[in-house]
Structure 1
């Protein structure tokens, strides 16, 4: 049993957890889905922060783009979960210590937040009695509109979880960069395509 409490050891363990590094080796599909998720999440967040600065015609286009990317992101999340749970797509982790378990928990937390944000996005739109739009293809609400108070609460939850995802993802990325450039191990390269693993 490892009892080393040296500050650098604890720091490395903490940043490995934040990076979600459970020492799993990822296949090309997993890597591609990961980076597609990153791009879509950043695009979604950017769109939600800037559309308020534009007049109505442009704002409408940005909102429709946000909804369309949200539907794409939902599909990618479902694909990631199905792929991750399917056998044979990941090599077993190198060890099963507390750091690996905690790092895996970070990944699961991100999955839960992304799934919750996707569901809230649909419910938010439909609860206001408005159709979802997928690049102009309208998807009508499948249920009756909610009260204004409930609609507002859903909107606040959607915004809060969006920020939580960004903060957690930023810490996730910063920890991976720390390991790549300071510790110089394989935390980041496991998720980069076309690089030889150390």
Structure 2
């Protein structure tokens, strides 16, 4: 049995990482910095859209996913917890960002298109703070995920990292 992920899953995985990093490094109040605000909002929307495609793709390829050997029950529980937090974050953080933007303004033009907003009537800074906190926690878990992948590659030498790298099937 092949021990690598199908290429569509690999592509969506790395695309998600790029979009998350763009969103993180362009963060701030989108109303104050027009260019970076546009980049941040667009990357957040794309994170959400790609995440929907990613979940659908994982479901479609579920029988072709590699089954890497788990070293211990502790490692398996930690893996499942981090995976759950990462997947939830891919949806919750962009939705919170959209709600935060909706609480700050009644309209937002995204590259000359009107972004549909929730129409919240009062400004609520707590939503924006929650979005920022959850985004930072998400980045922490992305770092934990990356550290685990590197540990698997350099310490455990079990091929887990290689399973998510694009390979020629030839």
TM range (shorter): 0.7 to 0.9
Confirm or deny that 1:70 pairs with 2:49. Answer: no
Q: Superposed, which structure 2 residues align to 1:1-198 within 5 Å?
A: 25-48=4-27, 59-86=33-60, 88=62, 90-91=64-65, 93=67, 98=73, 99-145=75-121, 147-148=122-123, 151-194=124-167
Inter-CA distance 155–88: structure 2 relative to 1 (3 Å threshold):
closer
Once the two structures are TM-superposed, the CA of residue 87 in structure 1 deviates from its matched residue by 5.2
Give me the whole-angstrom Cα distance separating, in 1, the residues matched to 2:108 and 2:166: 34
Give the whole-Å Cα distance in 1 for the aligned partners of 2:102 and 2:126.
Answer: 14
Instruction: Tell me the CA shift for residue 121 of structure 1.
Output: 1.1
Across the aligned residues of Structure 1 and Structure 2, the Cα RMSD in angstroms comes to 2.6
CA contact under 8 A between 1:117 and 1:158: conserved in structure 2? yes
> Which ranges in structure 2 are unaligned for 5 or more consecutive residues?
none
- Kept in 1: contact 2:5–2:66 (CA 8 A): no
| Structure 1: runs of 5 or more not aligned | 1-23
Q: How many residues align?
A: 164
Counterparts in 2 of 1:65 and 1:89: CA distance versus 1, 3 Å: farther
